């Protein structure tokens, strides 16, 4: 029988890098509290070297993930949604505690996040038809364009919306065939940690997603300047630093998604495809006709 | 002896053709004496060697020391391509990289040597003319070493004629493991003679020797027989160059110099892929044999992918941000 004298199992979460759960290379952790300031758990506090390792892992995973058929990527991402559904209660609890929401609002946010994931999973094999196609050209050529993933994408996830916002910025990166290094919300990292556990137990190959808990202000400059990062999403960049990160990203001609003006948008709104297109490059092929 | 691998192998009681340096000039007087000498070398404490190597690997080398270590390591690289698919074009592009490893930064030092198969040594020699970069060629039926002595010696002479000024030979591991130490010794002596003026590096292939005691014995055979360098591995066998193996070999070259006054070089090869690995080796040299060996004339890294990682780290120190594989050549 378990009585009230049972010792609490306090959690110290780790990072999710290259399909494994390492501690931060720096050995640092920080306390995560709920919206009222009560202790929830310890989380790993990622350092720049963790970010560097995550980029190496993401680069290593890129060939396989981008080379998978769009149909297969869609299936894998749908499987992630299935596993998320199994963790529904845990997500609800973490979102409610972290964001200070009522349980019904938290449930609505989790439902929306899982639906968002399914929605992006469905897009994988349809983007080519929407964004690509054959082009009319003034010559005897068959000319067509295809969208292709850009590579390794660094994502500074929203600081407020810890699950729906996270999924909204990060699922489109995966759906388009990129690999990702995600820095979670600093104050509300637990849904990201759980999402890491979901990804580890679904079919997403190790290294495709690397989740770092920690401070976007600290890691942002390193990811923005990193020469092996092809694009960066600055949604969760701290106020006042986003412009600086953009400038640093320009040094290696990265694709940049700018931080939203006027705070975080309403994540529940229909996202359209505007979060997928920034991470795609268009390849156009000129094929001589004849024979 | 019932197990004879080489039909031309010396008979049981043979005497070595050339005696080693004093005070070891009598240890090769007979098979039995040589075996007694080699088995009389102090045994290696394997757990101790592993612990020492692991402990030396924890040193933190940062900022200016790291910059020095990276440049030193680059200057010690034997840039290697040993593939069946090697072409003259690939060797020429490797030579170009050896001369100017990082075209974006002319202050990058050049590497020590380019290491190829013997038939391509001429191509490398031509491409490296006047640069001071050595041309190393593997010979003696590399990597297995399973050929008759006559074939091995012809292989060596061919590589030297093609322009190699360093020869990487493999020892006969079959003879070594069968206990015919004098045969191994004599073969190295004969290869050294065939090398002429070329430097001889003796590959022990430590991954096939199984124990650190064997590594110590093989190191001594190679040094006594006149090898200029001892080298861990061919790079074709796993495990290749591990830190404990390097530690034992470095102790052997240290002890040999203390006894005979002759300094032997050391070359770990295979499995060294990152700057961190390379720096661990430099730390180990400094702590084991001292700074006399911190020089491309006395220490080399046999590697191919290591150079790119060294260049990436060098770029990181220079620019302050992380670099990526798009900024170095594809080998």
- Asked if B161 and B195 count as a contact pair (C-beta separation under 8 A), the reply is no
Q: Is the pLDDT of residue A291 over 90?
A: no
Instruction: Give residue-wise pLDDT tens across range A79-93.
Output: 999 999 999 999 999
Q: Which of B163, B183, B184, B173 is nearest to B142 (CA)?
A: B173
- How far is it, in rounded angstroms, from Cα B174 to Cα B161? 28
May I ask the CATH architecture of the domain B31-322?
Answer: Alpha-Beta Barrel (3.20)
Residues of B in contact with A227 (CB under 8 A): 315, 321-324, 326-327
Asked if the C-beta of B320 comes within 8 angstroms of chain A's C-beta atoms, the answer is yes
Residue whose entry in the numeric block shows the structure tokens 């890491």: A196
- Please report the domains of chain A, with CATH numbers, ordered by start residue: 29-35+44-288 (3.40.605.10)
Q: Which of B102, B155, B168, B172 is catalytic?
A: B168
Partner-chain contact B324 A225, CB within 8 Å:
no
Tell me the residue ranges of DSSP E strands in A78-176.
133-135, 141-149, 152-156
Q: Which of B44, B57, B78 is nearest to B266 (CA)?
A: B78
Burial class (CB in 10 A: 0-12, 13-18, 19+), A270: exposed
For the record, the structure tokens of A62 come out as 């890129």
Domain boundaries, chain B: 31-322
In angstroms, the separation between the Cα of residue B323 and the nearest Cα of chain A is 5
Q: Is the pLDDT of residue B3 over 50?
A: no
Q: What percentage of chain A carries pLDDT values higher than 70?
A: 98
**Which ipTM score applies to this complex?**
0.85
Instruction: Give residue-wise pLDDT tens across range B5-24.
Output: 554 455 445 566 678 888 99
Instruction: Give residue-wise pLDDT tens across range B174-183.
Output: 999 999 999 9
- How far is it, in rounded angstroms, from Cα A207 to Cα A194? 16
Partner-chain contact B322 A251, CB within 8 Å:
no
Q: What is the mean pLDDT of residues A40-48?
A: 96
Q: Is the pLDDT of residue B61 over 90?
A: yes
For the record, the structure tokens of A201 come out as 């137990």
* pLDDT confidence of residue B19: 82
User: Following CA atoms B103, B104, B108, B109 in sequence, which dihedral angle do they give, to the nearest 10 degrees?
Assistant: 10
Residue whose entry in the numeric block shows the structure tokens 């941000």: B321
* pLDDT confidence of residue B248: 97
Q: Which of residues 51-80 of A touch B (CB under 8 A)?
A: 52, 55, 59
- How far is it, in rounded angstroms, from Cα B20 to Cα B223? 9
* pLDDT confidence of residue B212: 97
Q: What is the mean pLDDT of residues A162-183?
A: 97
Q: Which residues pair with B235 in a beta bridge?
A: none
pTM of the model: 0.90
Partner-chain contact A227 B322, CB within 8 Å:
yes
Interface probe for B, chosen from A150, A227, A228 (most Cβ of B below 10 Å), is A227
Asked if the C-beta of B62 comes within 8 angstroms of chain A's C-beta atoms, the answer is no
Q: Which of B110, B149, B152, B231 is catalytic?
A: B231
* pLDDT confidence of residue B74: 98
Q: What is the mean pLDDT of residues B67-84?
A: 96
* pLDDT confidence of residue B6: 52
């Amino acid at each position: 029988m378990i009585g009230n004298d049972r010792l609490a199992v306090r959690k110290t979460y780790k990072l999710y890098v290259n399909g494994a759960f390492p501690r931060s290379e720096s050995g640092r952790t920080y306390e995560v509290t709920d919206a009222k300031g009560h202790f929830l758990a310890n989380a790993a506090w990622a350092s720049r070297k963790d970010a560097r390792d995550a980029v190496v892992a993401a680069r290593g995973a890129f060939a396989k993930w981008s080379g998978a058929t769009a149909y297969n990527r869609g299936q894998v991402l749908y499987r992630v949604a299935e596993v998320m559904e199994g963790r529904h209660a845990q997500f609800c609890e973490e979102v409610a505690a972290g964001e200070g929401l009522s349980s019904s609002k938290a449930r609505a946010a989790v439902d929306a996040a899982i639906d968002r994931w399914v929605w992006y999973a469905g897009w994988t094999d349809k983007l080519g038809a929407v964004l690509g196609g054959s082009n009319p050209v003034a010559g005897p050529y068959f000319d067509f364009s295809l969208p292709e993933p850009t590579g390794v994408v660094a994502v500074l996830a929203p600081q407020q919306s810890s699950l729906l916002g996270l999924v909204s910025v990060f699922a489109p990166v995966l759906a388009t065939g990129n690999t990702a290094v995600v820095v979670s919300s600093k104050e509300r990292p637990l849904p990201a940690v759980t999402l890491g556990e979901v990804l580890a137990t679904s079919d997403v190959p190790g290294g495709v997603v690397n989740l770092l808990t920690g401070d976007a202000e600290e890691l942002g400059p390193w990811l923005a300047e990193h020469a092996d990062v092809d694009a960066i999403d600055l949604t969760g960049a701290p106020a006042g630093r986003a412009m600086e990160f953009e400038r640093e990203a320009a040094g290696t001609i990265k694709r940049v998604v700018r931080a939203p003006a006027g705070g975080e948008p309403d994540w529940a709104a229909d996202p359209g495809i505007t979060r997928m297109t920034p991470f795609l490059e268009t390849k156009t092929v000129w094929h001589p006709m004849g024979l | 002896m019932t197990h004879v691998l080489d039909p031309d192998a010396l008979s049981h009681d043979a005497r070595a053709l050339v005696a080693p340096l004093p005070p070891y000039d009598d240890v090769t007087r007979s098979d039995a004496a040589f075996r007694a000498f080699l088995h009389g070398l102090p045994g290696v404490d394997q757990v101790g060697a592993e612990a020492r190597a692991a402990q030396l690997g924890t040193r933190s080398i940062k900022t200016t020391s790291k910059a020095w270590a990276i440049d030193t390591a680059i200057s010690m690289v034997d840039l290697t391509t040993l593939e069946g698919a090697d072409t003259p074009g690939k060797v020429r592009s490797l030579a170009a990289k050896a001369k100017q490893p990082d075209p974006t930064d002319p202050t990058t030092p050049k590497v020590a040597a380019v290491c190829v198969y013997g038939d391509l040594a001429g191509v490398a020699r031509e491409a490296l003319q006047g640069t001071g970069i050595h041309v190393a060629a593997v010979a003696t039926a590399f990597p297995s070493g399973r050929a008759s002595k006559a074939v091995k010696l012809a292989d060596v002479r061919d590589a030297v004629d093609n322009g190699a000024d360093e020869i990487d030979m493999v020892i006969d591991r079959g003879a070594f493991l069968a206990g015919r130490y004098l045969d191994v010794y004599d073969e190295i002596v004969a290869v050294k003679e065939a090398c002429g003026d070329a430097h001889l590096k003796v590959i022990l292939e430590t991954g096939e020797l199984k124990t650190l005691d064997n590594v110590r014995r093989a190191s001594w055979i190679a040094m006594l027989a006149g090898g200029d360098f001892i080298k861990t591995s061919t790079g074709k066998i796993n495990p290749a160059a591990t830190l404990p193996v390097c530690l034992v070999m470095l102790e052997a070259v240290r002890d040999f110099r203390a006894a005979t006054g002759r300094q032997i070089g050391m070359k770990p090869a295979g499995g060294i892929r990152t700057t961190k690995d390379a720096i661990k080796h430099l730390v180990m040299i400094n702590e084991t044999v001292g700074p006399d060996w911190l020089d491309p004339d006395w220490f080399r890294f046999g590697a191919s992918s290591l150079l790119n990682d060294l260049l990436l780290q060098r770029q990181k120190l220079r620019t302050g941000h992380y670099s990526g594989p798009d900024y170095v050549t594809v080998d």
